[in-house]
Structure 1
Amino acid sequence: MSRASEDSGPVRNGGDLVVETLEALGASKVFGIPGQHALGLFDALSRSRLEFISSRVENNSAFAADGFSRATGQVGVLFLSTGPGALTSLAGLQEAYATGVPMIVVASQIPLDGLGARRRGMLHQLDDQKASAANVTKSQRLIQHASGIPSAIQDAWTEAISSPAGPVWIEVPQNVLLDPVMVPAVEDALAEPFDNPPRSELVKEAVRWLSDARRPAVIAGGGVRRSGAEAALLSLAEKLHAPVICTPGGNGAFPWNHPLSLQSWMEDRHMTEVLEDADVLVVIGSSLGEVTSNYFTMAPRGRIIQIDAEPRVLESNRPALGIRADARQALDAFNAALPAAEHLPDWHGQGTEDMVAGALARVQARLDTQGLERERRFMADIRAAVPDGMQTYWDMTISAYWAWSCWDAKSGQFHSAQGAGGLGYGYPGAIGGAVGLGERVLAVSGDGSAMYSIAELATARQHHLPVTWLIVDDGGYGILREYMEEAFGKATATELARPDFVLLAESFGVPARRCAPGDIRTALEESFAAEGPNVVVVEARIGLFAPTHLA
């Protein structure tokens, strides 16, 4: 069909309505991979101002849209094909859903007359495609008429950015994308997040607890960062003279070297003991889940105030005064209602700052006994090389497990795949960050996780993205090797044949270098100063610290 005529100009279709609505809502970038049933959507992109970033695997497209959103605070947009393409994205969407990353996912679908009729045997056909996304997105919509596209996307955008934020799935059948429309061009669209304040009686009760507390403490989770509540958290902590520890997702929510900062040593028993000793423990934007509770070993003896925008999180692991609210709105309400402290905390004869300093010293002393000088130097050298404001993306690798505890995010942002824990997040997430920021970012992967996203070297090269990829090559799935050796005395199926990562990167046209662990700082600094994408490979077997004294 001709796209234009002399009388009427370009023929608009449902795909145009999709991209026009996204533009009106403020989208500027789209991630994804074209597909047969989505061709109308991608053709419409050619008539829009949206920039398309073409990944090589749909799962990595989802990670990239996630990384873009985390870096910029904007909504990530993902275009998917039908069937295999849509399904391949699900692991990436699980991470976004678990971590609360706002995304709009537009998946194509077979023509309307084929839906539910599997016997027709149409290419890519599923019995119910959107049902496959139900576990990894906030909601799922099927659009059956082009006139419904603008409102459906606007509603989805509102839902995606409302706390708890997350990805929202929209399906548009092939014929709805392709058929000409009478609907005029979308001129404006508005999506504002729903208000999510705390209930007043719960704020009053929490303030009463905190006013009487002698040893208050705070756990800051990812919800603090997602809601932009860092300043409110700092104000509350200083008003209460309460120590604050950040979860991996909350890393950066509280100043690392503040006198009240317990940093992020969530997996050390010394920190667990401090939190257990609190008479009121405020948990903000965290489920008190596996890592935050030091693998469910933490048993608080005091009362717990738990604040989270996701009601299913509240009291999911511990009885608490559960407050369903956006973290910033709740902390603002606490700060407004809390009177000036009438007494300073007393941690068994110590003030809070002395207690914090002592706890951090005990953590370092424990590390001193574990023969981890190489690992600690390695992480310190990476931190020294990374500029203060650079954003970093960490895959599920031993280096990331160290970073969860020891990485001072400074004025940059720390991003990892701790929400769902899947492999392959680091590099495509960093690609999305570089697209959004227009500046260099760092990705850190192991050799096992690197192979999940190795094809995205082509994406980085094609779009000339300033991503430095650090691959720590230890010859296998290092963290699983450690877990199995500790549990069974030996590891099985953890060793991997892998490529020469330097030669492989160079075959994509991406500069790469290999360095020794002791030279990592220089190698990274030189790579950061270069243009476009590059790769640094370090062959090193990195051990993990033990949370208690070694036997």
Structure 2
Amino acid sequence: MIKTGSQILLDSLIREGVEYIFGIPGGANLPLFDALYASPIKFILTRHEQGAGHAADGYARATGKVGVCLATSGPGATNLVTAIATAYMDSVPMVAITGQVKTFLIGNDAFQEADIIGITRPITKHSYLVKDVKDLARIVKEAFYIANTGRRGPVLIDLPVDITLEKCEEIVPTEVDLPGYKPRYEGNIRQIKIAAEEINNSVQPVVYTGGGIVASDSAKELLELAEKGNLPVTTTLMGLGGFPEDHKLSLGMLGMHGTVYANFAVTECDLLIAIGSRFDDRVTGKIDEFAPRAKIIHVDVDPASISKTIRVDIPIVGDAKNILQELNKHIYFAERKEWFDKIKSWKEKNPLSYNEGENVIKPQYVIEQICDAGKGNVIITTEVGQNQMWAAQFFTYTKPRTFLSSGGLGTMGYGFPAAIGAQLGCPDKIVVDIAGDGSIQMNIQELSTIARLNIPVKIVILNNGYLGMVRQWQELFYNKRYSGVKLNGNPDFVKLAEAYGTKGFLIEKKEEVRPTIEKAFSSKGPVVMDFRIDPTENVFPMVPAGQAIHRMIGTMA
């Protein structure tokens, strides 16, 4: 059947199961929007392309499907860059489609032309400039395959406007053939058996897991490993929810703002079993003092991540789910009483805690109340900074895909649009964006998006009048020389919410916290909650930059 490039693109997206496209139209993608007019795919008009990219990212993280965003050429495409980089750093499957000037104008500095392929090459898993409409169906199929296999990540399709208008006989591809791209899923059996022997013989083991557990849907297999082998488990920020934090074997999060007991356990362990994690600097701290006495097993689908930062003794390349299924066949229960007695002592001496204070709202208390009121049916998205760390520390995550945050890039402005994507992908969940008063203003224009479509995202602003994490660092390491962090001139967030057409609540007293959260959760539409928190509250424990992770401040240790 003869079709235009636009029709071929949309039919290809339908075959890939795409439900939503997030984006903004423009001159170079108008033919796509004309085709979208009669398409079953739902288009979500955001108010900024960065918001569209983060919404596609949030949809992908919450559902496990590939997120799709769409922008026009030039500034529309460049506005996607931060969102693409965010997805790349956190291995999120996303396909970004950008309009481009006509093929014969490329390279001539035409109106709204930008070399988006060149700009995004370091932050995409792969990219395509479509030069022939006959290649389009194949390219779309390959893009989705690349984005959602191996170490997942964003793929960009740059589509000149004349290609979208050209017609050809559509040839529907039935398979993907990429000779240079063959992700490995099955781990080496010999290596798995060696790893199992080390685990069974270890005295002080720790399992250290990251976002790879969530991405590979292997939380069940991880739980089996921990219980079968009697192994304590710590997770990275990206791994939150991959192991239930209410489980007796949970150590919570490790790293710069991790728990004392997780950091101590990693420092003193004799075997570290790393699964789906990449030894990020916020996790390791000072490298030569990270797990100094431990043998290290590293399971990862990306061979380039193994021994990149930390020397690994037993590498296993492959998909975490497949490897754990095989590994669990060879694991035996071990008591390890002395090791667990030591961990218990660390937990008792240094629990995650805070000073509740008087006549002031503590951010940790707000997080705890959200967790309790949500009754296990909440997806948390966050911005970046203190709000992110409090959300990581004081919400109890028991299920995968319930904590969505920018880990690798640390993108302020991520959480709110990501919540939009998560809410659309998981309509039966309560989706809460935990934000600071600085970070919420990075993409606050998306209030228009949720108001217009009545998307019931709940926004929690932990309002302390500062760029809080920067202020904390200036307090602790720069002699309280507070430079550029006081947010003078913040808007009235309640009035702003109402101006956009959403509900807004101001919370200034502790006794108002829980009732307001319950009122927001029972609301069928979007809600903004402005919590005026203690402006001097800091995130503890904390490992100073460049220090070993067992050298924490703000603790009893």
Other-structure match for 1:52? 43
Q: What secondary structure sits across from 2:273 in the alignment?
A: strand
Instruction: Tell me if the contact between 1:17 and 1:185 (Cα under 8 Å) persists in the aligned partners.
Output: no
Of the candidates 455, 465, 469, which is equivalent to residue 455 of structure 2? 465
Of the candidates 341, 353, 361, which is equivalent to residue 348 of structure 2? 361
Q: What secondary structure sits across from 2:110 in the alignment?
A: coil
Give the letter for the 1:176 counterpart: I
Q: What percent identity do the matched residue pairs reach?
A: 27
Of the candidates 144, 153, 159, which is equivalent to residue 140 of structure 2? 153
CA separation in 2, counterparts of 1:339 and 1:173?
54
Q: Residue deviations 1:214-263, cap 9 Å, x none?
A: 22110111110110111111111122211001111111111212121112
CA separation in 2, counterparts of 1:378 and 1:155?
44
Does residue 1:249 correspond to 2:242, yes or no?
no
Instruction: Tell me if the contact between 1:108 and 1:171 (Cα under 8 Å) persists in the aligned partners.
Output: yes
RMSD value over aligned CA atoms?
2.4
CA separation in 2, counterparts of 1:154 and 1:39?
22
Give the letter for the 2:469 counterpart: I
Report deviation, 1:265: 4.8
Does residue 1:317 correspond to 2:317, yes or no?
no
Q: Which 10-residue stretch deviates more, 310-319 or 277-286?
A: 310-319
Alignment of 1:371-386 (within 5 A): 374-386=362-374
Q: Which 10-residue stretch deviates more, 516-525 or 301-310?
A: 516-525
CA separation in 1, counterparts of 2:554 and 2:138?
59
Report deviation, 1:73: 1.4
CA separation in 2, counterparts of 1:456 and 1:303?
48
Q: For structure 2, which runs of at least 5 residues remain unmatched after alignment?
A: 543-551
Alignment of 1:251-266 (within 5 A): 251-266=240-255
Other-structure match for 1:165? 152
Report deviation, 1:205: 2.4
Report deviation, 1:202: 2.1
Does residue 1:545 correspond to 2:540, yes or no?
yes
Distance verdict in 2 for CA 1:309–1:285, change over 3 Å: same
CA separation in 1, counterparts of 2:285 and 2:506?
35
Alignment of 1:507-522 (within 5 A): 507-516=499-508, 518=510, 519-522=512-515
Of the candidates 421, 440, 460, which is equivalent to residue 410 of structure 2? 421
CA separation in 2, counterparts of 1:38 and 1:460?
24
CA separation in 2, counterparts of 1:367 and 1:293?
25
CA separation in 2, counterparts of 1:500 and 1:222?
37
CA separation in 1, counterparts of 2:352 and 2:414?
33
Alignment of 1:79-158 (within 5 A): 79-116=70-107, 118=108, 121-126=109-114, 128-158=115-145
Q: Residue deviations 1:494-542, cap 9 Å, x none?
A: 1122111111111111111101251222111101111221111112223
Report deviation, 1:464: 1.1
CA separation in 2, counterparts of 1:28 and 1:196?
28
Report deviation, 1:12: 3.8
Distance verdict in 2 for CA 1:313–1:195, change over 3 Å: closer
Other-structure match for 2:294? 302
Instruction: Tell me if the contact between 1:31 and 1:78 (Cα under 8 Å) persists in the aligned partners.
Output: yes
Distance verdict in 2 for CA 1:381–1:366, change over 3 Å: closer
Report deviation, 1:334: 1.1
Instruction: Tell me if the contact between 2:24 and 2:45 (Cα under 8 Å) persists in the aligned partners.
Output: yes
Instruction: Tell me if the contact between 1:130 and 1:141 (Cα under 8 Å) persists in the aligned partners.
Output: yes
CA separation in 1, counterparts of 2:223 and 2:469?
34
Distance verdict in 2 for CA 1:365–1:99, change over 3 Å: closer
Other-structure match for 2:548? none
Distance verdict in 2 for CA 1:397–1:522, change over 3 Å: farther
Alignment of 1:259-408 (within 5 A): 259-266=248-255, 267-294=258-285, 296=287, 298-320=290-312, 321-336=314-329, 338-341=330-333, 343-346=334-337, 350-352=338-340, 354-364=341-351, 374-408=362-396
Instruction: Tell me if the contact between 2:199 and 2:331 (Cα under 8 Å) persists in the aligned partners.
Output: no
Alignment of 1:20-39 (within 5 A): 20-39=11-30
Give the letter for the 1:140 counterpart: S
Instruction: Tell me if the contact between 1:392 and 1:441 (Cα under 8 Å) persists in the aligned partners.
Output: yes
Paired residues, what number? 530
Instruction: Tell me if the contact between 1:309 and 1:324 (Cα under 8 Å) persists in the aligned partners.
Output: yes
Report deviation, 1:76: 0.5
Give the letter for the 1:332 counterpart: Q
CA separation in 2, counterparts of 1:384 and 1:274?
28
Distance verdict in 2 for CA 1:69–1:189, change over 3 Å: farther
Report deviation, 1:369: 12
Q: What secondary structure sits across from 1:135 in the alignment?
A: helix
CA separation in 2, counterparts of 1:407 and 1:462?
30
Instruction: Tell me if the contact between 1:272 and 1:294 (Cα under 8 Å) persists in the aligned partners.
Output: no
Distance verdict in 2 for CA 1:230–1:29, change over 3 Å: same
Q: Which 10-residue stretch deviates more, 366-375 or 461-470?
A: 366-375
Give the letter for the 1:364 counterpart: P
CA separation in 2, counterparts of 1:418 and 1:396?
8
Of the candidates 419, 434, 437, which is equivalent to residue 444 of structure 1? 434
CA separation in 2, counterparts of 1:275 and 1:550?
19
Distance verdict in 2 for CA 1:268–1:392, change over 3 Å: closer
Distance verdict in 2 for CA 1:387–1:550, change over 3 Å: closer
CA separation in 2, counterparts of 1:390 and 1:355?
33
Report deviation, 1:368: 6.6
Q: Which 10-residue stretch deviates more, 245-254 or 318-327?
A: 318-327
Q: Which 10-residue stretch deviates more, 415-424 or 399-408?
A: 399-408
Q: What secondary structure sits across from 1:123 in the alignment?
A: coil
Other-structure match for 1:500? 492
Report deviation, 1:15: 0.7
Instruction: Tell me if the contact between 2:364 and 2:394 (Cα under 8 Å) persists in the aligned partners.
Output: no
Give the letter for the 2:124 counterpart: T
Give me the TM-score of the superposition, normalised by structure 1: 0.91
Give the letter for the 2:477 counterpart: A
Instruction: Tell me if the contact between 1:243 and 1:356 (Cα under 8 Å) persists in the aligned partners.
Output: no
Report deviation, 1:441: 1.0
Q: What secondary structure sits across from 2:252 in the alignment?
A: coil
Other-structure match for 2:545? none
Distance verdict in 2 for CA 1:167–1:358, change over 3 Å: same
Distance verdict in 2 for CA 1:458–1:132, change over 3 Å: same
CA separation in 1, counterparts of 2:336 and 2:357?
33
Instruction: Tell me if the contact between 1:370 and 1:550 (Cα under 8 Å) persists in the aligned partners.
Output: no
Q: What secondary structure sits across from 1:281 in the alignment?
A: strand
Instruction: Tell me if the contact between 1:243 and 1:260 (Cα under 8 Å) persists in the aligned partners.
Output: yes
CA separation in 1, counterparts of 2:154 and 2:344?
40
Q: What secondary structure sits across from 1:131 in the alignment?
A: helix
Q: Which 10-residue stretch deviates more, 99-108 or 409-418?
A: 409-418
CA separation in 1, counterparts of 2:243 and 2:148?
23
CA separation in 2, counterparts of 1:21 and 1:177?
13
Q: Residue deviations 1:396-416, cap 9 Å, x none?
A: 131221222332123471111
CA separation in 2, counterparts of 1:359 and 1:226?
31
